[in-house]
Chain A
Amino acid sequence: MATIQAGRRRRRRRLRPAWRNTLTGWSFILPNLLGFGVFTLVPVLALFYYAFTDWNIFGVAEWVGVDNFTRMLGDDSFFTALRNTLYYTALHIPLTMGAALGLALLLNRKLRGVAFFRTVAFFPYITSIVAIAQVWNLLFSPQYGPINALLRALGAANPPGWTVSADWSMPAVIIVSTWREMGYYMLIFLAGLQTIPNQLYEAARIDGAGSWQRFRNITLPSLRPTTFFVVVMLTIGSFKVFDLILLLTDGGPGQSTLVLSQYIYQKGFEENQFGYASAVSVVLFAICFAITVVQFAVNKRRAS
């Protein structure tokens, strides 16, 4: 009898701290969770409903089934935006990753003023994007900009028109976004590099491995979790690129830099077609989701 009671008491004691821990945990994340729920989760769920309606924000959203999606199939502007988004993503991810990794390797050594250089590389990321766009636009100015002045001095007879040329506007945007984001990913790579135990390098050196072999066989494999994180973040970030393009080229000239998120903004907030804009958002979400799932699967297979 006594032992049973003792057992019960023990169980209760064991339960109560767990319950308390859960509550404490919840109370810590509650402020953020509330904000996330009200301002992100609810609108996102609503989005999936509105994607199947015709809604101009006032009055009632009228259910139209898959009309918005069939309309999208015949919408050339949507496909232009999709193509441009893929173009941006395909160049932006490898370039940013390469630049970030290169910087991280460079700044992972013991050299004088390394803290200063790390700060310098990180600076673009914390600078106001409006200021960045303004200054880069001045630099890119086809007639009077310093970039083209330099190119002319180097002998280019017809330097590109950059942000005012349909062919060069996307490269210009990619250059600026790579420059802006490489510092942030450099920081993540730096953190990854510092977790690699030095003994591995020492052992490799003793075995006679050159620096390229050390990089290929130690650094890269050890960085895999970091690289995976960077790729996922970069992919999602590239697909929803918006602010930089809006400020730098506003989708132009013509539709040469129109990307999906800007198309959503145009349809929704400029033309008040919130149903159609929601449908395009759902497609963008599906694309990001699918690619992320594939990336996770690939990563898992490689890890095992």
Chain B
Amino acid sequence: MKRSISMALGVVSAVSLLLAGCGDDAGSPAAAPTGPVTLTLGGWTLASTPEFKALADGFHEANPNVTVELKEYDATNYDTQMIADLAAKKAPDLYIQKNLKPFYTYQSGKQLLDVSDVAKQLGDKVGGLSAYQVDGKTWAIPYRQDSWVLFYNRALFDKAGVEYPDGSWTWDDYAAASKRVTTGLKGAGSKAFGDYQHNWQSTVQGFALAQTPGAKLDSGDFGYLKPYYTRALDLQSAGAQQAYGTVTTNKLTYQSQFGKQQAAMMLMGTWYIATLLKQQSTGDAENFAWGMAPAPQLDASTTGTSKKPITFGDPTGLGINPAIDKQKITAAKAFLAYAAGEQGAKKLASIGVTPADTGSVTQDLFALKGMPTDELSKFTFSTHDTKPENPVSKHTAALQNILNDAHSAVLSGSKPVDSAISAAQDRAKNEVLKG
């Protein structure tokens, strides 16, 4: 009897604690900040993603009054966890927009504070800003803008006796070069492939969407994918790259395929620069000379170093949680401006991360140990027209899931390109676009 009473008391007190916790953040008074401010920032796998700490420390140095505390999330489930935390009103003051796919959910769900004034202050030096603009207002500030480029292994090209990429390549040139390198390497007794294509849908669809004139994701017309898939299948059957089935079943990682010299070329986002530098210094990757070239182009109208090559990539942005304590908003906006501005950009470049403001850091980045020194690599890093991989729309997440099914169906050889595309179009029409 006594035990049950104490248990009941325990339950009552636990419930009242919960209720008190829920009521806590209702209506905090707006007042000028006095004394030190502590902001919380949500990021993922802090140990291997040094950028959050770099920005937090850098900002604290410049503004000793403000401390930015990091809150760690899981990298793969970042958005699921963040959405749950936001819905439960337990999310940090500032949180990262990891890519553009869930941005619509955050923005339309009123989970982002209007930061148009910060955007105005930053001007047009920051890449990727327009992706976060809805109804004439800006809802997040990009601090990184990665773009997909072609990484190549100079040593393997030398071994195969093939000339390095020169920035003039269309996709057909790329495919031909990959086959030539494969043959050359085989002749030299190497088992490496001409190129490595990771199993992500972006490796094919990202380029197709960005480079094909008139291609639009939410048009529901996916015919623009066909030439890109035909070429990918051709490279696969020619043996110039690992088969899709081998990549998925053996869980190959792109870091080891390029880093351990298993492939002479790889299309990947510029985030790989930091990883490659780090892995070459720690021995996780072999030491070899590498370089970057612009991604192959649809046709000759955008090739060559006098033009701006078209590629794709989603910006990584910082947003403010509207549930933030009103006294902290000024400090939070100052942090956004810092992270996206020149100071933040330099800080990011010092750890090999590609900031949104690439122009002001090219010199700093290429001064890092292990970076290539050729002009084409510098051109590649600083000059590109980067289109978003996930154009912001209500339908983006659902359409990308449909296209992901098409991707695995085509590359595994389960469906011919045409029927996979028409199946995806039918599904898009029936399941997504009519709603």
- Chain A contacts to B: CB under 8 angstroms: 20, 23, 26-27, 30, 34, 56-59, 71, 74-77, 134, 137-138, 140-145, 161-167, 250-256, 258, 266, 269-273
Contacts and interface: CB of A to CB of B under 8 A. Distances in A.
A185 to B, nearest CB: 28
B80 A269 contact: yes
B397 A272 contact: yes
B413 A252 contact: no
Contact of A166 (B108, B409, B426): B409
B397 A165 contact: no
A252 B408 contact: yes
B248 interface: yes
B242 to A, nearest CB: 9
Contact of B405 (A141, A254, A269, A270): A254
Given A56-B109, A166-B409, A254-B405, A141 B250 contact: yes
Contact of A57 (B1, B109, B243, B412): B109
A23 B1 contact: yes
Given A143-B243, A161-B245, A253-B412, A27 B4 contact: yes
A58 B431 contact: no
Given A27-B4, A74-B430, A254-B408, 7 more contacts: A56-B108, A76-B426, A77-B431, A143-B246, A167-B414, A250-B408, A256-B409
Given A23-B4, A27-B7, A165-B414, A57 B409 contact: no
15 contacts: A23-B1, A56-B109, A74-B430, A137-B250, A138-B250, A165-B412, A166-B409, A166-B414, A166-B415, A250-B408, A252-B408, A252-B412, A254-B406, A254-B420, A266-B401
B251 interface: yes
Contacts of B248: 137, 163-164
B110 interface: yes
Interface of B: 1, 3-4, 7, 11, 80, 83-84, 86-87, 102, 105, 108-111, 243-246, 248-251, 397-398, 401, 405-406, 408-409, 411-415, 420, 423, 426-427, 430-431, 435
A278 to B, nearest CB: 15
In the A-B complex, the 10 residue pairs with the smallest Cβ-Cβ separation, listed nearest first, are A58-B109, A254-B409, A166-B414, A164-B245, A252-B408, A253-B412, A141-B249, A253-B408, A164-B412, A137-B249
Contact of A77 (B244, B251, B427): B427
Contact of B251 (A56, A137, A140, A161): A137
Per DSSP, are chain B's interface residues mostly helix, strand or loop, or mixed? helix
A250 B404 CA distance: 11
A271 B394 CA distance: 10
Which among B243, B250, B405, B415 has the highest number of chain A CB atoms within 10 Å? B405
Contact of A271 (B86, B245, B398, B415): B398
Contacts of B427: 76-77
A75 B435 CA distance: 12
Contacts, number: 117
Which among B108, B245, B423 has the highest number of chain A CB atoms within 10 Å? B245
Contacts of A23: 1, 4
A143 B83 contact: no
Nearest to A54: B435
Contacts of B245: 141-143, 161, 163-164
B86 A58 contact: yes
B243 A142 contact: yes
Contact of A58 (B110, B244, B409, B423): B110
A144 B250 contact: yes
Which among A161, A250, A266, A272 has the highest number of chain B CB atoms within 10 Å? A272
Nearest to A57: B87
A20 B413 CA distance: 68
B402 to A, nearest CB: 8
Nearest to B242: A143
A134 B251 contact: yes
B249 A145 contact: yes
Contacts of B83: 57-58, 272
Contacts of A77: 427, 431
A58 B111 CA distance: 8
B16 to A, nearest CB: 15
A143 B244 CA distance: 10
B412 A56 contact: no
A165 B109 contact: no
B109 A254 contact: no
B249 A252 contact: no
Nearest to B4: A23
Which among B7, B243, B246, B414 has the highest number of chain A CB atoms within 10 Å? B414
A56 B111 CA distance: 12
Contacts of A254: 405-406, 408-409, 412, 414-415, 420, 423
Contacts of B430: 74-76
B405 A161 contact: no
